[in-house]
Amino acid sequence: MNYTSTTRIQSAIAPEIFYTLRKMSWGRRNQFNEMMVKPFGRMAEARREREFLEDQPPFKKIIELRTSLENLVPPAEGAQDEERKAFVAKVDAITDEIDALAKTAPPGPARQIRDLIEEENNIDRAQAKALLDWALIKIEGLEIDGNPTPSVEMLVMEGPEKVVEEICKEISKRMRLGDTEIKNLESPTTSAGVAGGSGPNTTATSASETSTT
The pTM assigned to this predicted structure is 0.63
Would the pLDDT of 212 be above 80?
A: no
Question: pLDDT of 109-151, one tens digit each?
Answer: 999 999 999 999 998 888 888 888 889 999 999 999 999 999 9
Domain ranges for the chain: 6-58+105-210
How far is the C-alpha of 7 from the C-alpha of 46, rounded, in Å? 35
Share of the chain above pLDDT 70, in %: 82
Least confident residue range of 10-14, 55-59, 98-102, 154-158: 154-158
Q: Report pLDDT for 209.
A: 54
Question: What does each C-alpha distance from 21 to 51, 121, 136, 170 come to in angstroms?
Answer: 35, 24, 5, 9
Question: pLDDT of 21-63, one tens digit each?
Answer: 998 888 877 877 787 788 888 999 999 999 999 999 999 999 9
